[in-house]
Structure 1
Amino acid sequence: MCCIFTYHLIQCPFYQSERLRVISNKFKELGADFLLLMVAVAWGSTFFVVQAAVNETPVYTFLFWRFSLAGLLMAFISFKQIRYLNFKVLKAGALLGLFMFLGYAFQTFALTYTYSSTVGFITGLSVIVVPFVTYLIFKQKASMFSTLGAIIASAGLYFLTLNNELGLSLGEFYAFVCAMMFALHIVFTGHLSRRHNIYLLVTIQFLTVGICSFIGGFIMEGSIIPPNTNRLFVDAIAITVIFATIFAFWVQTAMQRFTTAAKTAIIFTMEPVSAGIFGYLFANELLTFPQICGAVMILGGMLTAELGSYYMEQYRRRNNAI
């Protein structure tokens, strides 16, 4: 009798439409997570290119040209969306741009006071901060699988960055503020992308970073004119504008509508993993055994959050069908 009842329940149009809706939402989430993974890979693949360019070009000058050009290109792409421009989307885009700029700014300050491995580790701890910020601001709880995945990924970050110099210096404080800014950027991107036009949100965000970098360049560096406009600078700007800025942040803003901020933060921990892989393949950098273990742990954290949410959804569906 139970089997017959279940069979007829499955055949019910309401159940079928509900089941299709759940499956459709899950495919959207998986697709969004995959594209966000591509964002992390895009950032990681350009890391050694940016590092080489910044060795010759002051940081704020590089950020100004990168985000200003990206903003102008996005403005051209978004020209037909101008009818949706209003004060609310302007404020939302400026807020995201401010979080992004402050993240880059405090990361730069931190690097002048402490080791890059320390900065990389503390910045990556935004993966732990995101679930708490999401709950404090929007009262949205992360699943236990996302929380567990975040903890595993954070442990992996420790091994990947080979961090042995944690302390309480000014550099660590700046790195922590940087992590908070990037965490706020992820959380508010997920919230605001559901409420505003994606094209305008990204365009305003880029232009805000460009304006802030222009101000920071004159204050900290005295100019925003690059000292060398050689092939390295041009290539680095072109690659970062197209792949690491327009593609990456547009995809992030568009895809966070279909997934959670906590999972996004975990997926983004794949950035240093992909940076290490590309550095090994194309820049003759070495990968030590602890770094490989860290990369595997980060991948494990991401799979824990992904598969955990999938099986949790399956469990809920079975309970609702009974």
Structure 2
Amino acid sequence: MKITEFKADLALLLTAFIWGAALLPIVASLKTNDVFTIVFWRFFISAILIGILALKFDKFFDKNALKYGAMLGFTLFLGVSFQTTALKYTYSSSVSFIVALYVVLVPFISWLFFRQKVRIYAYFGIIFGAIGLYLMQKNLQFLLGRGEFFSVCSALALALHIVLMGHFTKKSELFTFLMSQFFVIALCSLIFSLTFRGGVVPNFDRAFINAMLFTIFLSTILGFSVEGLMLRYTTPIKAAIIFIFKPVTAGFLGYFLGGENLTPTQILGACIIVFGILITEFGSYRQKISNKS
């Protein structure tokens, strides 16, 4: 089946819905299991399964995929761990909207590492993002709560991951690249858990099993594979706009299924964050169009 840009966009939209829906089962599992335990088993099992796909579909022993995947694995470990930790302290809907700020941080991370010019739209995006972040807090204050703080840390790590991934993903075999990342995430989780928590033996209750089934097969293997493949057929700007539906999905499910009642001020903050993301991405799109003309 030929993959068109339209089909790629639809696949990314489905991925955004899956990633948004994944936060609720993770929240439930955090009541009886530690952050690093959940992250370890999610990515350890995912690495084994994606490794089987790599043996079948990828060029054997792609050194670039292993090297670049290992480098990116640590940044993704930080992003996932900070986000999972944030879910212990605040609503999944709040976490998802704040973590989505990674989109407006990408231009500044690109400047920091690769000296790419920061356009005026990015400054507007970061200003609206900061305003939205302030309004998303339960108690309006300039010092972030723990949940909001870890969410911002996750956004920073994911922004770095996206910037580096844009440079490395096209130079690597997809499944080997993902397998390398997942194994590094699992290894980091194991080290952190053994150092600070005493091990990764989980509490095999219903919440943990549900979280593993959803995050391993849908959120991790399917989600990351679709993202890596479909980004070859559509533009990163369109993908970033489509991924706005991740926090929207998390907010919708958190409200109707998770009993998360955001205040009108927090809802306004979420809308301002989305507006800031749209300014950043549409500004980038307009700049590329003007450069071509």
Bin for the TM-score computed over the shorter chain: 0.7 to 0.9
Structure 1 residues 272 and 64: alpha-carbon distance in aligned structure 2, compared to 1, 3 A threshold: same
Q: Which has the higher helix share?
A: 1
Q: Show CA shifts across 1:69-121 (max 9, x none).
A: 11111112222234342332211111111111123445567788xx547x948
Match of 1:156 in 2: 132
Query: Does 1:240 find its partner at 2:183?
Result: no
Shift of 1:203: 1.4
C-alpha separation in 1, matches of 2:145 and 2:26:
27
Q: Show CA shifts across 1:266-300 (max 9, x none).
A: 66555333211111122232233223323333443
C-alpha separation in 2, matches of 1:204 and 1:109:
23
Instruction: Output the amino acid matched with 2:219.
Output: A
Question: Among residues 138, 141, 147, which one is paired with 2:114 in the alignment?
Answer: 138
Q: Show CA shifts across 1:7-46 (max 9, x none).
A: xxxxxxxxxxxxxxxxxxxx84x76666545434322212
- Residue pair 2:58, 2:175 contacting (<8 A) in 1 also: no
Question: Among residues 270, 280, 294, which one is paired with 2:255 in the alignment?
Answer: 280
Structure with more relative contact order (C-alpha pairs < 8 Å, separation 6 or more): 2
C-alpha separation in 2, matches of 1:251 and 1:307:
23
Task: Report the aligned-residue RMSD.
Answer: 3.5
The correspondence of residues 208-247 of structure 1 with structure 2, limited to 5 A, is: 208-227=184-203, 229-247=204-222
Q: Between 53-62 and 211-220, report the one with greater CA deviation.
A: 211-220
Structure with larger Rg: 1
Match of 2:40 in 1: 64
Matched residue SS, 2:161: helix
Q: Show CA shifts across 1:192-225 (max 9, x none).
A: 1121111111111112111222222222221211
Instruction: Output the amino acid matched with 1:136.
Output: L
Shift of 1:50: 0.5
Q: Between 161-170 and 186-195, report the one with greater CA deviation.
A: 161-170
Query: Does 1:205 find its partner at 2:162?
Result: no
TM-score in terms of structure 2 length: 0.79
The correspondence of residues 64-213 of structure 1 with structure 2, limited to 5 A, is: 64-106=40-82, 116=90, 120=95, 123=99, 125-141=101-117, 143-145=119-121, 148-162=124-138, 164-167=140-143, 177-213=153-189
Matched residue SS, 2:199: coil
The correspondence of residues 10-49 of structure 1 with structure 2, limited to 5 A, is: 28=5, 35-49=11-25
Structure 1 residues 284 and 102: alpha-carbon distance in aligned structure 2, compared to 1, 3 A threshold: closer
